[in-house]
Chains A and B, each alone.
Chain A
Amino acid sequence: MNRRLMYNRASADRDGKPWSERKRYVWWDAAQKKWTGADVPDFVEDKPPDYRPKKNARGLEAIGGDDPFIMQADGKGWLYAPSGMIDGPMPTHYEPQESVVRNLLYAQQCNPARHEFRRRDNRYHRAFGDARFPFVLTTFRLTEHHTAGGMSRPLPWLSELQPEMFCEISPSLARARGVVHGGWVTLTTARGQIECRAMVTERLKPLIVDGQRIEQVGVPYHWGVVGKVRGDAANELISFVEDPNVNIMETKALTCDLVAGRRPRGAAAHAERMAMDESMDLAVEEERALGEEKLRGEGPPLAEPSQMTPKG
């Protein structure tokens, strides 16, 4: 029953014939009076392409034989959601809360409908061009682990396949920061500091934005303090700033710093934390003076607590 491609009836035209003979995938077999092809049809198997729903039909019966998107109420593919979104309806581009560059599309830097959490334990870097955090950081997942790894790290069969926290960087960033492949690096944001192994790879290419060469750091999610394999957690680095519709924080695009070596511990770590806090306080003052809050764009006022309180 497991279909490999959702909505695969869309590989055939309104009459149920493949759009392309070469790429045919699922189609209507008129002789057998059913959908057939290389996959399990993601459609009512014997609903012909010329089926039209009756006036007061409900559920699947309300979806015509030429409407492949069966999980939508009208069975149609949508270019945008006409209702229900707080922002929108058309998609556009804003820079994340923390970026390396100005928004090239609008004067408004960030999504004006975002939710900020301005607190001492949730500091934000400057909206762009923060010299202390010159690299883009993005997080991703590995097939070997599940979410933050709480369920997969206790399993030896999965732990052995991805046993250690690492970050992916380009050879050029590795050279610039004196990092060796497989060696330790420390990643720093205003929220926290983690250490991990360096995976130096050609897969991660620096971005060229507005003529500027920007290095990226890719960080998987899955480590923590318990389990057969342990490591620092990517979540330590992330800030809380939510999108207005589903209230997910910006884990996929933020800024960071990267240096070779392990992170400081004990008194040294405390001193570094104090210095970071002080630097962040100064930065907030500076931002106020520069009016950079305006540059980040409309949003909840600086002094106010957020519109939403964090969950849990």
Chain B
Amino acid sequence: MEPRRRVGFFTDTTVCIGCKACEVACKQWNQLPDDGLVFTGLSYDNTAHLGASSWRHVAFIEREKPLESQTTGLGAFSWIFHSDVCKHCQRPGCLENCPTGAIIRTEFDTIYVQPDVCNGCGYCVAGCPFGVIDRRDDDGRAWKCTLCYDRLKMDLEPACAKACPTDSILFGELDELHIKAETRLKQLHAQGVSEARLYGPELDGVDGTNAIFLLVDEPEVYNLPPAPVVPQKTQADAWRSVAVGAAAMALLAVGTILSARGRR
């Protein structure tokens, strides 16, 4: 079935101010519990990573590197923020690993976990190359960003994008978001931010994502995988290795028996 609309996020980290309004708006709309009241010491980031109860996560990165095109009193230092979210891959590892059909691609071209079908097997957790989806301790089921499926059905934008005061999180039709992202990238390059780059659409290992990010450093700096690959893409290789291994073991077994006979 062709999707009715193709929507996604464009998260421009250069205008993120680290207010965490997206995290709170997400939790309020989706009625998610807290993820533990733990002081992490990771700058102002006490969420640490996406999880079953945290579907938006703002990373606070203290870099020993100045922000290009800006001069501050801090010298070789900058504090950058990044609101992370489910990437809504074109080739989603979670969906392909799901044995119950609980994870579906919606009419909006987003990836959605149906909580009434999920049986909590956890295969999707291992299948996600970004480490996004996770099982909740109390009910065992897997949860992640729904891209506010219920709000989309009512023609509302997702709660995080709605709450973002600087429009760092933009929601919209994927084609338009691509244009906006490219335009912003060109603008930043013209301003001398040569390290600015887009993350998401070019990730071949997942055939591109519906969540586009604009970063100003290597993905690893943001704790994002530089080259994520869904496990299914490496499956053929994996089975080939298994076959080679099995053949080698068979040969060894036969060889051992033959050589043992020969000695007798």
Interface residues of A (CB under 8 A from B): 142-144, 156-164, 166, 181-182, 197, 199, 201-203, 205, 228-229
B27 partner, pick from A157, A201, A228, beta carbons under 8 A: A157
Interface residues of B in 63-118 (CB under 8 A from A): 64, 73-74, 77, 79
Separation in Å of the A180 CB from the closest CB of chain B? 10
Q: Report if A202-B44 is in contact (Cβ < 8 Å); known contacts: A143-B19, A157-B28, A164-B39.
A: no
- For B73, list chain A residues within 8 Å (CB): 205
Query: 6 closest A-B pairs (Cβ-Cβ)?
Result: A156-B34, A164-B39, A182-B41, A163-B37, A160-B34, A143-B19
A-B contact count (CB 8 A): 57
Q: Does B182 contact A (CB under 8 A)?
A: no
Q: Does B47 contact A (CB under 8 A)?
A: yes
- For A181, list chain B residues within 8 Å (CB): 41
A159 partner, pick from B28, B34, B43, B47, beta carbons under 8 A: B34
- Complex: chain B residue closest to A200, CB-CB: B41
Q: Does B33 contact A (CB under 8 A)?
A: yes
Separation in Å of the B145 CB from the closest CB of chain A? 16
Check if B47 sits within 8 Å of A143, measured CB to CB. no
**Complex Cα distance A83/B64, Å?**
48
- For A205, list chain B residues within 8 Å (CB): 73-74
A161 partner, pick from B28, B46, B64, B77, beta carbons under 8 A: B46
Check if B24 sits within 8 Å of A161, measured CB to CB. yes
| B contact patch SS | loop
7 further contact pairs, Cβ within 8 A, besides A160-B35, A160-B36 = A160-B38, A161-B20, A166-B39, A182-B39, A199-B43, A202-B62, A203-B79
- For B20, list chain A residues within 8 Å (CB): 143-144, 161
Check if B33 sits within 8 Å of A202, measured CB to CB. no
The 30 listed contacts between A and B (C-beta, < 8 Å) are: A142-B44, A143-B19, A144-B20, A157-B27, A157-B28, A158-B24, A159-B37, A160-B35, A160-B36, A160-B46, A160-B47, A161-B23, A161-B24, A162-B46, A163-B37, A163-B39, A163-B46, A166-B39, A181-B41, A182-B39, A182-B41, A199-B41, A201-B43, A201-B62, A202-B74, A202-B77, A203-B62, A203-B77, A203-B79, A229-B37
**Complex Cα distance A198/B237, Å?**
49
Check if A228 sits within 8 Å of B74, measured CB to CB. no
| Per-residue interface assignment for chain B, residues 197 to 226, with 1 indicating a CB less than 8 Å from any chain A CB and 0 otherwise | 000000000000000000000000000000
**Complex Cα distance A202/B64, Å?**
8
- For B46, list chain A residues within 8 Å (CB): 160-163
- For A144, list chain B residues within 8 Å (CB): 20
- Complex: chain B residue closest to A2, CB-CB: B165
**Complex Cα distance A161/B34, Å?**
9
Separation in Å of the B123 CB from the closest CB of chain A? 28
- For A161, list chain B residues within 8 Å (CB): 20, 23-24, 46-47
| Per-residue interface assignment for chain B, residues 10 to 49, with 1 indicating a CB less than 8 Å from any chain A CB and 0 otherwise | 0000000011100110011000011111110101101100
- Complex: chain B residue closest to A230, CB-CB: B37
